[in-house]
Structure formats: C-alpha cells, structure tokens
Structure 1
Amino acid sequence: MNHYVTIATELVIGMFFLFVITKSLGKTQFSQITPFDFISALILGELVGNAIYDHEVRIIEILFTTFIWGVLMYVLEQITQKFNGSRKHLEGEPNIVIHNGIIKFDALKKSKLDINQLKSLIRQQGYFSIQEIEFAILETNGVVSVLPKSQYDTPKMSDLQLPNKSVNLPVTLILDGEVVHDNLEEIGLNEQWLKEQLSTKGITDYKEVLYAEWMENQPLFTMEYESQSG
C-alpha cells in the first residue's frame, strides 16, 4: 500500500512542479512548439517518469534536476528575447516555400517537407489547390501561413465598399449551469437582468442552462441541456 501512496505523491508533486515551470516559460510553449521546446518537454516528462518508476531515484533528486532544467530553459528564453541573432539557432526561422505562386523546392528540401505534406498543410488553411496560393510560409512551429492569389482571396468590407460595423466579443454568462459572475459584472449587468432574460425563454433555473452567451445589441443566446439530445 505504501508503494502506491508513494507513486501517487510523486505524481502530484511532479505534475505541480511541471505546471509551475511551464507557466513561468509563457503561453507560447503550448501554441508554438519549436524543436527546442519539443526536446524540453520530452526531457521534463522523462525526468518525472524516472522519479515514479525508478525506485532508486529519489523524488528530491528529480525535482532538483527538473528545477535546473527549468532554469536553463528560462535563461535560453530570455536570451532569444534579448538577442535577435540567437533566435535563428534556438527557435529556427520561417521559410518561404511558395513564392509568387512557384514552389521553392530548395526550401522544401531544407525543411524536410514533401509536396504531399505541403498540400496537407495548405488544406488546413482552407485552400485545396496549390494554384490558389501566391505565398506560403512554413513557420517555426510547423504551421503554414498562406497568402492566396487575389482571385481566391476573401473580399473584405473595404473591398465591397460596405459601411464599417462595430466588432464585439461574445461574453459567456452561464457555463454548465453556473453563472460567470465576473463576466456579468464586466458588461455592467446583474443577476436580476439575467433572470429576466431567462424568464422570457421559459427558463426558471440556471441549472437548466448548459451555455448562455451575450453579445451587444443581440438577444441572449442560451443552450439548454435538453437541446443536446437529437
């Protein structure tokens, strides 16, 4: 029994320690994984895994090693922030793989990318033919940024000479049957208003609402639990 308690304790401590390190390195660690970030994640996971399954390694030793590795990553992150020349070596650099509608085979070869992979990445951006692309840039996180040819580009409001409209973010007011009070306060409304809006829809209890969203100059959008069926 003590063995399982030890494993559970090490898991909790390891998860907390990795969480602190990851948060301290910034949100880009989640959305923009560079080769160096990938290696770092593997090593951190391996360190905590050793602490759990290798009984000869004590948790304090793994935590110390993880801490040192976290400090090294943080220092390297600061270096890339302050010294532009280091970014190319540590984070990589974007590569133009399509230029003026022409595929740059040298850039593809350098990036270890073939035509099928390039087509797949382009499709993920909503374009299904290379003929539609004027420029394509392979970013350091492996995503392709696409600039389509003018005839395939989505027209903008200014292109159609339409009047500008205000842009508003939707605000979540109820989530899983619970009122998000901070959001309600942020838009300058109160629970009495919310109850009145729900009452017009025949809803008497927050628990009936899976999701409720507010947007300026629009009626309150609600999705009840019952509406999920079918």
Structure 2
Amino acid sequence: MNEGLVVVVRSVIGFFSLLIFARIIGKSQISQLTFFDYVLGITIGSMAATLSTDLSSRAWPHWVALVSWAALGYIMEKITVKWRYASKFLEGEPVIVIMNGKIMENVMKKMKYTVSEIMGLLRNKGIFDVNQVDFAILEPNGQLSVLQKPEHLPVTPKDMKIKVSSSGISTELIYDGIFIEQNLRQLNKDKKWLLKELKKQGIYDVSEVFFATLNPAGSLYVDRYEDRLQTMVDIGDYKGPY
C-alpha cells in the first residue's frame, strides 16, 4: 500500500514536470521535430517513467536529471533560434536530392537515404514518376518538399483567369445530436431555421444528426448517425479465412 502511494506521488510529480517542460520547450507537432528533438523527447519521457516506478532509489536524483535534460533542450532551442550557424550545425539544413528529374546520388549517400525511401516519400506526395519532379528537397525533419515541373502542375482558376469567391471556413452547428447554440447566434440563425433546413433533407429530429456545418456560401452539410447508403464500398482485398 505504501509503495503504491509512493508511485502515485512520484507519477504526479513526473506528469506535471513533463507538462511544464513541454510547454516551455514548445514543440507542438511531431512533423516539425528533427531526429534529435525526437530522441530528446523519448529520453525525457523515459526519465519521467523511471522517476515514477524506480523505488530502489530516491526520486530526487531522477528529478534533477529530468530538469537538467529539459533545461539543456530549452537552451539548445534558444541557441538555434538566435544563431543561424548553430541551427545549421545542430539541426541540419535542407538538401536537394532531385534536380530537374535527376537523382543526386552523392547527396543521398551523404544523407544515408536510399532510392526506395525517396520514391516512397514522393508517392506520399502523389507523385509516381520522377520525371515530373523539378526539385525535391529533403528537410531537416525528414519531410520531402517537392516542386513539380510546370507542365505537371495542376491547373488553377488563376491560370484559367476564372474569378472564384473565397469558400471560407465552415461553422459547426450540430455535433453528436446537440445544437451548438453559440455558433448559431454568431451566424444570426436559430434552432427553428436549422430544423426547417433539416426537414428539407428528410430529418425531423436533431438526434438523428451526428454532425452538421454551414459554410459562408450558405451550403449546409449534414451527416446522419445512420447514413442511408445503398452500397458500402470496401477497399480491402482480403476477406480473411472464412
């Protein structure tokens, strides 16, 4: 019982320490992390776990180590923000791996990337032919930025000299069968109006609606709990041994 209480207390200390450090260091998205940032996060998390469960030693040394690693991470972040050359050395810099459809083999060897890995990153961008690529840049966080050749770029309304209005951001009106009254008021709408619109789509009770939004153009999107689809599409190609 006493050991359990100690683990709870240590876990609370480790949890709030991690929360504070995460806020201070300020890394918000995994996709923005460099490899070192990723490893640093794992190491700090491992220390917090040890702080919580290692009852064979005092909590104080583990917490000091946790604070030290977090402080060093914060200092390194400030250094990379203030000094460009330090950022280049510590976090790396973007490198061109494809130029005018040609793969830079020497650069890839230096970055320890294979052609298969680069092709996989291109496919994630919807590109299956290297000839379509003008420039491909490998970012410090491992993401691939791609500029396609002009003849392979998608045509935009601007290219066609077509004027289009801004679609804006849709506003949630119903979620999980409940009206979002604050959003209705912001749009100068009310429940009566929304129920009338729902009836036009054959919906007579808000509890039938899982999600509903209204865009600035006045288009109402409604998703029911029981979507009345005639045929369900299954993209799997293996039904299992039955």
TM value normalised by structure 2 = 0.81
Query: Per the alignment, in what secondary structure is the counterpart of residue 113 of structure 1?
Result: coil
Distance 2:27 2:197 in 1: 36
- Please state if 1:54 is matched with 2:57: no
Q: Which range moved further: 77-86 or 136-145?
A: 77-86
Distance 1:211 1:194 in 2: 13
Q: Which range moved further: 10-19 or 166-175?
A: 10-19
Alignment CA distance shift 1:163-1:120 (3 Å): same
Alignment CA distance shift 1:153-1:24 (3 Å): same
Please name the residue that 1:17 is paired with.
17
Alignment CA distance shift 1:187-1:104 (3 Å): farther
Distance 1:20 1:178 in 2: 35
Alignment CA distance shift 1:75-1:193 (3 Å): farther
Q: Which range moved further: 55-64 or 151-160?
A: 55-64
CA-based RMSD = 2.6
Please name the residue that 2:110 is paired with.
110
Distance 2:186 2:96 in 1: 43
Alignment CA distance shift 1:74-1:29 (3 Å): farther
- Please state if 1:76 is matched with 2:76: yes
Instruction: Name the larger-Rg structure.
Output: 2
Query: Per the alignment, in what secondary structure is the counterpart of residue 14 of structure 2?
Result: helix
For structure 1, the residue ranges without an aligned partner over 5 or more in a row are none
Amino acid at match of 1:122: L
Amino acid at match of 1:42: I
Please name the residue that 2:120 is paired with.
120
CA contact (8 A) 2:27 2:33 kept: no
CA contact (8 A) 2:101 2:133 kept: yes
CA contact (8 A) 1:10 1:52 kept: yes
Alignment CA distance shift 1:208-1:13 (3 Å): farther
Please name the residue that 1:130 is paired with.
130
- Identity, % of aligned pairs? 31
Aligned length: 229
TM value normalised by structure 1 = 0.85
